[in-house]
Amino acid sequence: MGLYTLFASALCTFVLPLLLFLAAVKLWQLYCVSGRDPQSHFPLPPGTMGLPFFGETLQLVLQRRKFLQMKRRKYGFIYKTHLFGSPTVRIMGADNVRQILLGEHKLVSVQWPASVRTILGSGCLSNLHDSQHKNRKKVIMQAFSREALENYIPVMEEEVSRSVAQWLTRGACVLVYPEVKRLMFRIALRILLGFEPSQMDGETEQQLLEAFEEMIRNLFSLPIDVPFSGLYRGLKARNVIHAKIEQNIKAKMAKDSDNSYKDALQLLIEHTQKNGEQLNLQELKESATELLFGGHETTASAATSLITFLGLHYEVLQKMRKELKIAGLLCPNNQDNNQLNLEVLEHLKYTGCVIKETLRLSPPVPGGFRVALKTFELNGYQIPKGWNVIYSICDTHDVAELVPNKDEFNPDRFMLPHPEDSSRFSFIPFGGGLRSCVGKEFAKILLKIFAVHLTRSCDWQLLNGPPTMKTGPIVYPVDNLPTKFISFNAIA
């Protein structure tokens, strides 16, 4: 009896769990194989699907860039994996990306991971499709018209000049990344959502910024909404943001706007009222949250990278100053020469090339998500219907054949007549096709204004040298880029 009990105990303790594990592995392998469309004679891309149920999500979340670089070296420009609960094909390279971005509504459709869709909501532009997406984009694009951008410039200048002046008074060290995030957050709040400076006291601004950072940290997480999970924390932070935006929406509806321009949120409200539609407060909050994300997180990443590259390449900074001097913009204290407008900014060709080179080497958004609407062939492999497709921006820039010495920071490569046009999808910092970034012109203008004020006001030293970059989900320096700023006038 004792031996029987011992045998039964060992069976329950060791053998059954092992058999269940082996069965799970076998079922996972069958699931991965069964994903292949038998109607297509093309093979699945190479790659691995990772652990049962979890796939390779944990490796991606923990290792990010290292994991993706290992995959590229091992499997090339197209490979299969399993991420965020779905079988996935990850692609890179101009020709492959072209087929995906131009295949919107025919081959693929936008589909972000479940956690992103849940946190941002079904009413935001990124999650809309067909006519809904087209109509919403048309309304939002009014906020990025040439006339609107011209009206935004004074607000951008006011906020940028104030921040740069503060950095110069800090003396020893400024942690650039959090400071730039705060700057871009204030600009997005004022321009895109119409927050007045009086609404943005230090405590409210800090509360909103912290909530936003918590939401973004958990944007890409396992789709499990239980206490203390990433999705739970992300939703909790989003609710804080939604509550503040709702207050702003109600305040806007209660009074006429006296701004010299109409922000994107105001345009969405007016569009709803003009068409006689019932005001969907939840959709407005989701659209506003998405605008705030796109309007500050990505520009903060790009502006931080700009400071990094210029701090490491003083000769480029000097060439920018030469261009500003020719344009009469080098002296910040001369009010006649201090007025920026779209025409003046458009003539700063070399400064524009510096920004392009920054976005080439360090694109803020690493890629985009799609889902296959039908099984199709891509470079000799089948992409099965229903599988997710991730196109990589950073890897596509890395492998672009048109770019010589691609690891070097060399803005002069963009001084040639439109080098990216010869292979349109080799340089895609703002995506492409129907889903290209609606605020790309806004971002370009803001980055140029930031570059002008920074260049003519100060020199700086990166205290830790070249930073280690991380993606989470936006590209940023691990050490927050500690930097010492010195007045340019004092050393000129």
- The model's pLDDT over 414-430, given as tens digits with 9 standing for 90+, comes to 987 654 444 689 999 99
pLDDT tens sequence across 242-278: 998 888 888 887 776 656 667 888 888 887 777 666 6
Helices (H) and strands (E) in the chain, counts: 20, 12
Q: Residue 50, Cβ neighbours under 10 Å: how many?
A: 18
3-state DSSP helix/strand/coil % of the chain, to nearest 5: 60, 10, 30
Provide the pLDDT for residue 260: 62
Provide the pLDDT for residue 22: 53
Least confident stretch, 145-149, 382-386, 486-490: 486-490
DSSP 295: I
pLDDT tens sequence across 341-379: 999 999 999 999 999 999 999 999 889 999 999 999 999
pLDDT higher at 170 or 447: 447
Provide the pLDDT for residue 490: 41
Phi, psi of 175 (to 5 degrees): -85, 100
Alpha carbon distance, N-terminus to C-terminus of the chain: 94
pLDDT tens sequence across 312-337: 999 999 999 999 999 998 865 544 44
- CATH numbers and ranges of domains, the chain: 35-491 (1.10.630.10)
173 is in an annotated binding site: no
Picking from 210, 188, 360, 216, the residue whose alpha carbon sits closest to that of residue 291 is: 188
Picking from 183, 235, 181, 247, the residue whose alpha carbon sits closest to that of residue 211 is: 235
pLDDT at position 218 over 80: yes
pLDDT at position 471 over 60: yes
Given pLDDT bands bounded at 50, 70 and 90, which one contains residue 282? confident
Above pLDDT 70, what percent of the chain?
A: 86
Cβ-contact 238, 117 below 8 angstroms: no
Please state, in angstroms and rounded to a whole number, the distance separating the CA atoms of residues 93 and 279: 43
